[in-house]
Amino acid sequence: MADDTRLSCGRSIDDVWSHLDGAPDEHERSCPYCLEARARLLRLSDAAVDLRTSEAADPTLQPDPGFAASVMGLVRAEVRRGQAIPLDDDDEPGLTISEQAVVGLVWAAADSVPGVRARRCRVRVALRDDADDDAAERVFAGGTLVDVGLSLALQPGTSLVEATTLLRERVTDRVGEQSGLRVRRVDLAVEEVL
């Protein structure tokens, strides 16, 4: 198949397109094929912007008004609760809290720290590091110990040290006060400065 994007001068539509934002290069300025292609591509580019704007505002090109709500109805029917975290020092715990409920506490605490956007979060029952007989033994010290993992983004100008110190404090306090769990560790991963 012949390359239908190649102009008679040998350049491709892609070459011309890649210069479209700036001034034409030396070849383009003196090449009638490139100049014509450039003019056409500029018109296409403008038309694409216009099409995007007009379609986004066109009432006939929106989903039905109840669409988002119906999607969210289905989504909320499948809310993930995560694993059940035991609250008491019993091998057959009678009382548990869902990981999701604890994650909600972590987010609320993190969102209260200026400049922090809390993202992905995981809460795991802390296991004894030194256990050789039973590697899966959890730790109970007046409350089940948990490890929190949290990814976050920082707003520009936020002090990393101050924000993360405050964040660890508040997460530990809030989770302790409101769930009865005791936070052993808060692992933070700063993914991005916004």
Partner 1 sequence: MTSDVQPRPGGAPAYDDWDDASLVGRSTSGDDDAFAVLVQRYQGPLFRHALRLTPDRRLAEDVVQEAFLTAWRRLPTLQDPAAFRSWLYQITTRRSIDAFRALKPETPVDTTDPEVLDLTAPGPGPEARAEQRAQLGDLAAALQELSLGQRAAWSMREIDGLSYEEVAVALGVPVSTVRGRIARARAELVERMASWQTTRD
Strands 182-193 and 145-154: parallel
Tokens 């924000």 identify what position? 163
Among 84, 100, 139, 182, binds partner 1 (CB under 8 A): 100
CA distance 190 to 158: 12
Among 8, 10, 27, 70, binds partner 1 (CB under 8 A): 70
Q: For the chain, what is the radius of gyration of the CA atoms? A: 29
Q: Which is nearer to partner 1, 116 or 145 (CB)?
A: 116
Residues 6+ apart with CB under 8 A from 17: 41
Binding mask 142-181 for partner 1 (x = CB under 8 A): ---------x-x-x--------------------------
Q: Which stretch binds partner 1 (CB under 8 A): 71-79, 89-97, 134-142, 177-185?
A: 71-79
The reply on whether position 51 binds partner 1 by CB under 8 A is yes
How many residues are recorded in the chain?
Answer: 194
How many residues sit in the footprint of partner 1 (CB under 8 A)?
59
Q: Which stretch binds partner 1 (CB under 8 A): 27-35, 111-119, 133-141, 172-180?
A: 111-119
The reply on whether position 105 binds partner 1 by CB under 8 A is no
Residue 35, amino acid: L
Coil, strand or helix: which one is 12? Answer: strand
What φ, ψ does residue 124 adopt, rounded to 5°? -130, 145
| Sequence-ordered strand ranges (E) for the chain | 84-86, 96-98, 116-125, 145-154, 182-193
Task: Please report, as ranges, the residues that interact with partner 1 according to CB under 8 A.
Answer: 4-5, 12-14, 17, 37, 40-41, 43-45, 47-48, 50-52, 54-56, 58, 60-64, 67-68, 70-72, 74-76, 78-82, 100, 103, 107-108, 111-112, 114-115, 117-122, 151, 153, 155, 191-192, 194
